[in-house]
């Protein structure tokens, strides 16, 4: 599987959030609101990535159905 720029961006953002969560647990770091906003943005990015994969998969099925009509 080819790694795209969005995958790299989500990995980096996920690692930063994990680091900040651990710092928050063990004392001091971002404010709680900032961590929540970062988690929401990470969730939005993952949702967007999954939707793009599903869209490609659904389009593949549509193309397959179109091709079967002409056989």
Closest to 7 measured CA to CA, from 39, 58, 37, 46: 46
Owning domain of residue 35:
5-69
Domain count, the chain: 1
pLDDT score for 42: 86
pLDDT > 90 fraction of the chain, expressed in percent and rounded: 0
Structure tokens, 24: 């928050």
pLDDT score for 32: 79
CB 13 within 8 A of CB 41: yes
pLDDT score for 34: 83
Q: pLDDT class for 62, splitting at 50, 70, 90?
A: low
pLDDT in tens, 4-32: 777 888 888 888 888 888 888 888 777 87
Alpha-helical segments (H) within the chain: 5-25, 32-69
pTM recorded for the entire structure: 0.57
């Amino acid at each position: 599987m080819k790694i795209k720029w969005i995958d790299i961006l989500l990995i980096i953002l996920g690692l930063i959030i994990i680091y900040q969560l651990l710092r928050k647990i063990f004392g001091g770091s971002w404010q709680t609101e900032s961590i929540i906003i970062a988690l929401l943005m990470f969730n939005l990015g993952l949702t967007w990535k999954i939707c793009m994969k599903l869209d490609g998969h659904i389009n593949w099925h549509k193309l397959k159905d179109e091709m079967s009509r002409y056989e």
